[in-house]
Amino acid sequence: MIAKAGTLTDPKQHSDMYAQGMNELERARSLGDDSPAVVNVLSMYSRTPFGVVSTGSMGALPLTVGYFYQGTAEAQALIKQGEAVFNAQKFDEAAKFYTAAAAKDPKFYMAALYSGDAYYRVKDYTNAGIWYAKAIAIDPDRETAYRYWGDELLMAGDSNGARVKFELAMAAEPYTLSTMSGLKQWGVQTHIALLNPVMHRPYLPRANGKITNADQFAETGDGRSCWLVYAQSRMAHDPNVIFDEWVMAGSVPNTPELNFVPNGYIHTLAEEVDAINALLDDLKKKLDAGTVTEEKLLPEMKAMLQMQKDHMLEPFILLNFNDAGLRHGYPEYRAAHRDQVVAYIDRYLIDHSGTPVTQHPNWVPIQP
């Protein structure tokens, strides 16, 4: 369907056919297909203007310069010439066209990225790294050059350097499906497990400022009653709070970034941090009183206690406990705390200990 859409000249027919194809891929993923082909096509779609317009209300990040700036006409012509010889596997020739395009337009992300890729194909890893670094300098908030550089370093035998680049890719765009693929491949090749915190956000329906299923949170010694304190904190911020805000009301302005602009309630990081801290304060009191015990404690409670202790609640929330509103706020957090996000990924999502995954009760393995 996607291939057929490319042959249609009528804009509406093209758009409809393309959307149908993407819907089928989304359906495939929902049925369990996480193959690279599905993930990569969905990722490319999500970072196009059409994809951002479609997913902005769900917290898709705005497009950055590496996505929306398409280069000068002269640079574009050189890129097309490079693509022709690249597809013919004449990578040395392709590198000449791509670097020429970059010289004509030093702000063109794709020219620098493609130059690095061409050098990578001929195993000139030094020049590949130089050009990937140039692409990152143009747009540090796009994940692609970090991930490509990670692939190159992994191929060159520098597994630690590759890990860092894959972590930086995740910090740049944690919600783009393809971003995680580099780190997964690194884990397979290095035989190191990747982990995710065990998290379960319970269903918390409300009416007239009260939780309507509170009887399901009667304390049994595992900390479940603390979710009611979490809910009370959220409702104190806004009586019309939306739990699990998967879609925000608003619009996408006609700008290059296509940044979604909410026009109603939006779930913020500050609100979520307040609510989880309130939950954990209540949990600690119950642990001290003995009404909750360490032996019975829910895995998500253990995980959140650890994150609070290590001052990692914010990146934990944004990467592993997010919804549309929290994703929408990620670029602002990333601008000031990128190093914190990378540290979180390295410390909690990668098992450096060599401990068998089955012995991590609060984390679960990420499948390659």
In-domain check, residue 32: no
pLDDT at 314: 98
- Average pLDDT over the chain, rounded to an integer: 91
Which of 196, 254, 204 has its CA nearest to residue 224? 204
- Across the range 302-308, mean pLDDT stands at 94
pLDDT at 359: 47
Of 16-25, 58-67, 215-224, 279-288, the poorest mean pLDDT is in: 16-25
Question: What is d(CA 63, CA 48) in angstroms, rounded to the nearest whole number?
Answer: 8
- Do strands 250-251 and 210-211 pair parallel, antiparallel, or not at all (unpaired)? unpaired
Question: What is d(CA 197, CA 194) in angstroms, rounded to the nearest whole number?
Answer: 10
pLDDT over 80 at 355, yes or no: no
pTM over 0.75: yes
pLDDT over 90 at 110, yes or no: yes
In-domain check, residue 253: yes
- Across the range 183-191, mean pLDDT stands at 91
pLDDT at 218: 95
pLDDT over 80 at 158, yes or no: yes
| Residue 346 half-sphere exposure toward CB, CA atoms < 13 A | 16
Question: What is d(CA 325, CA 231) in angstroms, rounded to the nearest whole number?
Answer: 17
| Residue 149 half-sphere exposure toward CB, CA atoms < 13 A | 26
Of 88-92, 235-239, 246-250, 344-348, the poorest mean pLDDT is in: 235-239
Confidence of residue 360 (pLDDT cuts 50, 70, 90): low
- Across the range 45-62, mean pLDDT stands at 88
pLDDT at 362: 57
Ramachandran quadrant class, 24 (left: phi over 0; alpha: psi -120 to 50; beta: rest): alpha
pLDDT at 8: 82
- Across the range 127-147, mean pLDDT stands at 98
**Is 313 or 356 the better-scoring residue by pLDDT?**
313
- Across the range 346-364, mean pLDDT stands at 68
The predicted-structure confidence for 196-244, as pLDDT tens digits, reads as follows: 887 888 988 888 878 999 999 999 999 999 999 999 999 998 888 888 8
Domains: count for the chain = 1
Give how far Cα 121 sits from Cα of 78, 113, 117, 201, Å: 19, 13, 6, 45
**Is 155 or 11 the better-scoring residue by pLDDT?**
155
pLDDT over 60 at 363, yes or no: no
Confidence of residue 9 (pLDDT cuts 50, 70, 90): confident
Most confident among 168-172, 205-209, 248-252 (mean pLDDT) = 168-172
In-domain check, residue 289: yes
- Across the range 332-341, mean pLDDT stands at 98
Which of 245, 243, 317, 244 has its CA nearest to residue 280? 317
Range of the domain at 226: 206-365
In-domain check, residue 135: no
* Amino acid found at 139: D
In-domain check, residue 344: yes
The predicted-structure confidence for 92-106, as pLDDT tens digits, reads as follows: 999 999 999 999 999
Confidence of residue 365 (pLDDT cuts 50, 70, 90): low
- Across the range 72-100, mean pLDDT stands at 96
In-domain check, residue 237: yes
pLDDT over 80 at 367, yes or no: no
Which residues have CB under 8 Å from 177's CB, separation 6+? 39, 40, 42, 43, 46
Which of 158, 153, 163 has its CA nearest to residue 347? 163
pLDDT at 366: 60
Question: What is d(CA 48, CA 43) in angstroms, rounded to the nearest whole number?
Answer: 9
Confidence of residue 357 (pLDDT cuts 50, 70, 90): very low
Q: Looking at the DSSP assignment, which residues form a beta bridge with residue 363?
A: 197
Confidence of residue 45 (pLDDT cuts 50, 70, 90): confident
In-domain check, residue 215: yes
In-domain check, residue 152: no
Quick one: what percent of the chain has pLDDT higher than 90? 68
Q: What is the DSSP string of 8-54?
A: --SHHHHHHHHHHHHHHHHHHHHTT---HHHHHHHHHHHTSHHHHHH
Question: What is d(CA 3, CA 170) in angstroms, rounded to the nearest whole number?
Answer: 29
**Is 280 or 24 the better-scoring residue by pLDDT?**
280
CB atoms near residue 298 (< 10 Å):
20
pLDDT over 50 at 10, yes or no: yes
